[in-house]
Amino acid sequence: MAFIVQKFGGSSVANAERIRRVAGIIADTYVDDNDVVVVLSAQGDTTDDLIEKAKEINPNPSKREMDMLLSTGEQMSVALMAMALEKMGLPVVSLTGWQIGLSTNSEYGSARIKKIAGDRIRTELDRRRIVLVAGFQGINKYDDITTLGRGGSDTTAVAIAAAMHADLCQIYTDVEGVFTSDPRKVPNARKLDEITYDEMLELASLGAQVLHNRSVEMAKRYGVNLEVLSSFERKPGTKVKEVTKKVEQTKISGIAKDTNVARIAVMGLKDVPGIAFKVFQVMAKKKINVDIILQSIGRGDTQDISFTVPQSDTETARAALLEAQEAIGFSDLSVDESVAKVSIVGAGMMTSSGIAALMFEALYDAKVNIQMISTSEIKVSVLVDEKDADRAVTAIHSKFFD
Amino acid sequence: MAFIVQKFGGSSVANAERIRRVAGIIADTYVDDNDVVVVLSAQGDTTDDLIEKAKEINPNPSKREMDMLLSTGEQMSVALMAMALEKMGLPVVSLTGWQIGLSTNSEYGSARIKKIAGDRIRTELDRRRIVLVAGFQGINKYDDITTLGRGGSDTTAVAIAAAMHADLCQIYTDVEGVFTSDPRKVPNARKLDEITYDEMLELASLGAQVLHNRSVEMAKRYGVNLEVLSSFERKPGTKVKEVTKKVEQTKISGIAKDTNVARIAVMGLKDVPGIAFKVFQVMAKKKINVDIILQSIGRGDTQDISFTVPQSDTETARAALLEAQEAIGFSDLSVDESVAKVSIVGAGMMTSSGIAALMFEALYDAKVNIQMISTSEIKVSVLVDEKDADRAVTAIHSKFFD
């Protein structure tokens, strides 16, 4: 007997047939004598349809009313799933965010969870009911409905698991788990049995969109045992935990590619102390995340600084820099969006020499030019031409895993 | 400055264009310096679509989960309407049933309102906001969502008006008000400026489906001033109140036709005391409403009893009577569904002689055969052949109104 939280995303509950399949997974977990809390997202395109309806009426609605509208999607999902489980003769109850007492701050559209009053869920579990919870939503101190933003249902599941000390939090998706690389791109990509929170965080931030960082961070903070697995195939997924048993030869956990990146070069800067600070202060003010940074060695009295930003922030960054051109003092600005970041991630990387060298060797063999390099405790990232990115991933994957 | 509750039905908010039109009506009421609370139904076919989705998964879902599902429809309506009003630059807030503290008993699917905690609405009105309330829904003592069943949004509006002592409760529909007869059938049908609660109750129960009886009963009990009017045309509707100013010559308020009626004849009953009681006890046990009753004069030692029931109850009534055939003691049973009830309604009817006679004269002129007759303080009903019903209504209408 264990206490298991399960989360199913929108594609897993997109239609009646899929709802029935997921009901089967939930039922199996329940009849194995476990306490089961299930968090659901809105069905397939429901959220997009609702957004479209809203935009037809008001292209710029308040976030408060948008949350009021969107939260209905998850409520529909849990009611329909409850009906599917009732049909199987199982005791079940569906609950909204406010019904489980999930309180948040008042940032409509991207609210942060403050507390979950677990008593309603506890009462229902004690009655041996399967508890279905509408993900993505809560209420603020005014009793208004809030939504949690991207990855909100994952976060709901992890938060419930943390608040109620669940033994396991299973995140069901449309992939079998976490892979060494994107299995649609790299034929030899291997599913990992285990991965650490930190590795998972790096992989998520690098574009391997299995779990949203927010939920992984919360799982790490509260020590929630996570498992990522497929709702389409009944087999074990990838366990995410603090420490993993890693066999010596597996130097890295995964390879990720991120094409949502642009390189900005600020050229002809005065070669004086504090110049980098001035540049990045402008970025910080606009809340733009700067990633890889390359500061050139001064040529005479000027120098260049290059860095990467998310492509969605390119225009904001360009405008902010041009506005501050006089204050900073630079001659030219160039922006290149045809780049991609390729990264290897592994918890023991820095204690194991030669990992980065192996990556560079793979890229050299594949004739991929490296534009920039960045390293951290558990990853090495390189910036390459976008058209070379897939070739780079495959080459690195062969080097480490074949 | 008045406190006005407005209610708009599903067809009035069926799409973006209609939502904008309704927003215009609400805005005009608000800028006239009134406190405005608006109750909305689910958009057009939303409820039917949700029911269909549910049935695909479970043909017989629990009412608790059905309420969880269906209540999302009204929540979507209020959020979308809020966005339309925001676009006009007006301060507005949408609220669900639980947010306004509308508590009900636990009869899922047809819950009764127990109380409305008016404080949230009051706070919002004091901030000069337009308050939009999701109709049809509340919560029970377990904090579970309930729905109010048929006419639920009308009832929500009247209950808010009663609880918060509103000056007026306007029910917007797709007709201009209450008519002397169905304007689609009787070309000369006239809109009434005023009607009493009692007349309205009789008209509603007789098939003139403008307002559900439940909401009219509640309005009468709490003295809520009602107005029925069209959301498509900006003109005064029909006021529903305790006493109306009636000019002498208007003998009746309206003529209604009800085709959801069947005549059951129980024949060959023993002509002994208590026999009628036995028949109607069987109906009462099945909760079947019996309307017009005709007890024949005994022929020898037997007699017949005929009565009408709603057509939806015909089979239940037939089965119950046959099961009790021995206990009651009758020889034959006949059921006729090809009948219709035509009624005239008017508060001052019984004090004004000759009204019924005028009705019968109209029917005689039109060669409509009367099968049964029933009278009350404020109405006269006749049962006629269904094929004669429209001709009967037109003939009576001409007699009284032309």
ipTM rounded to 2 decimals: 0.79
Angle at B319 between CA B318 and CA B325, to 5 degrees: 85
For helices B355-365 and B389-401, the axis angle rounded to 10 degrees is: 130
Question: By the 8 A CB rule, do A309 and A317 touch?
Answer: yes
Query: Tens digits of per-residue pLDDT, A283-312?
Result: 888 888 888 888 777 667 888 888 999 998
- Cα nearest neighbour of A88 on chain B: B58
Q: Does B61 touch chain A (CB under 8 A)?
A: yes
Residues in chain A: 402
pLDDT, position A27: 97
Q: Which of A65, A82, A120 sits opposite B79 (nearest CB)?
A: A65
DSSP H/E element including B92:
strand B92-95
Tokens at B315, concatenated: 């089979």
Q: Tell me the pLDDT of chain B (402 aa) as tens digits.
A: 899 999 999 999 999 999 999 999 999 999 999 999 999 999 998 999 999 999 999 999 999 999 999 999 999 999 999 999 999 999 999 999 999 999 999 999 999 999 999 999 999 999 999 999 999 999 999 999 999 988 899 999 999 999 999 999 999 988 888 888 877 778 788 888 999 998 888 887 666 667 888 899 999 999 999 999 998 888 899 999 887 765 545 578 889 898 989 999 999 888 777 788 888 889 888 888 888 888 777 667 788 888 999 998 999 999 999 999 999 999 999 999 999 999 998 876 766 667 888 888 899 999 999 888 887 778 888 999 999 999 999 999 988 887
Chain A residues 256-315 with CB within 8 Å of chain B: none
Chain B residues touching residue A24 (CB < 8 angstroms): none
Query: Tens digits of per-residue pLDDT, A68-84?
Result: 999 999 999 999 999 99
Q: Does B14 touch chain A (CB under 8 A)?
A: no
First to last CA, chain A: 40
Question: By the 8 A CB rule, do A359 and A380 touch?
Answer: yes
Chain B residues touching residue A44 (CB < 8 angstroms): none
Hey, is A371 helix, strand or coil? strand
Chain A residues touching residue B71 (CB < 8 angstroms): 75
Q: Does B50 touch chain A (CB under 8 A)?
A: yes
Mean pLDDT of A31-58: 95
Q: Which of A57, A68, A94 sits opposite B94 (nearest CB)?
A: A68
pLDDT, position B221: 93
- Contact state of B83 with A76 under an 8 Å Cβ cutoff: no
pLDDT, position B351: 64
Query: What residues have CB less than 8 Å from A69, skipping those under 6 apart?
Result: A50, A53, A54, B75, B76, B79, B80, B83
Query: Tens digits of per-residue pLDDT, A346-357?
Result: 876 766 667 888
- Contact state of A54 with B16 under an 8 Å Cβ cutoff: no
Q: Does B99 touch chain A (CB under 8 A)?
A: yes
Q: Which of A72, A84, A143 sits opposite B72 (nearest CB)?
A: A72
- Contact state of A57 with B78 under an 8 Å Cβ cutoff: no
Chain B residues touching residue A65 (CB < 8 angstroms): 79, 82-83, 86, 94
Give the best residue of B20, B52, B60, B76 to mutate against chain A (max A CB count within 10 A). Answer: B76
pLDDT, position B109: 94
Q: Which of B62, B83, B120 sits opposite A58 (nearest CB)?
A: B83
Does A35 have pLDDT greater than 60? yes
Shortest distance, CA B214 to any CA of chain A (angstroms)? 28
Hey, is A2 helix, strand or coil? coil
Tokens at B187, concatenated: 């070309």
pLDDT, position A270: 84
Chain B residues touching residue A93 (CB < 8 angstroms): 64
Q: Which of A80, A99, A120 sits opposite B54 (nearest CB)?
A: A80
pLDDT, position A232: 86
Shortest distance, CA B87 to any CA of chain A (angstroms)? 6
Q: Does A24 touch chain B (CB under 8 A)?
A: no
Mean pLDDT of A255-265: 91
Q: Does A62 touch chain B (CB under 8 A)?
A: yes
pLDDT, position A302: 83
> Under CATH, to which class is B3-174 assigned?
alpha beta
User: Nearest-CA neighbor of A13 among A33, A30, A38, A31?
Assistant: A38
Mean pLDDT of A157-184: 91
pLDDT, position A248: 47
Question: By the 8 A CB rule, do B295 and B280 touch?
Answer: no
- Cα nearest neighbour of A72 on chain B: B72
Q: Which of B50, B71, B87 sits opposite A58 (nearest CB)?
A: B87
Our CA dihedral for A107, A110, A116, A117, rounded to 10 degrees, sits at: 50
Q: What is the pTM of this model?
A: 0.81
pLDDT, position A284: 87
Q: How many helices (H) and strands (E) does chain A have?
A: 12, 20
Query: What residues have CB less than 8 Å from B5, skipping those under 6 apart?
Result: B37, B38, B39, B157, B158, B160, B161, B164, B166, B168, B169, B170
Highest-confidence segment of A136-140, A392-396, B359-363: A136-140
- Contact state of B61 with A86 under an 8 Å Cβ cutoff: yes
Tokens at A73, concatenated: 């999607």
The secondary structure of residue A351, as a DSSP letter, is: G
Q: Does B45 touch chain A (CB under 8 A)?
A: no
Shortest distance, CA B381 to any CA of chain A (angstroms)? 44
Q: Does B144 touch chain A (CB under 8 A)?
A: yes
Does A256 have pLDDT greater than 60? yes
pLDDT, position A299: 66
Chain A residues touching residue B78 (CB < 8 angstroms): 68
- Contact state of B72 with A69 under an 8 Å Cβ cutoff: no
- Contact state of A56 with B16 under an 8 Å Cβ cutoff: yes
Q: Which of A16, A83, A120 sits opposite B65 (nearest CB)?
A: A83
Query: Tens digits of per-residue pLDDT, A200-225?
Result: 888 876 666 678 888 999 999 999 99
Give the best residue of A20, A70, A72, A100 to mutate against chain B (max B CB count within 10 A). Answer: A72
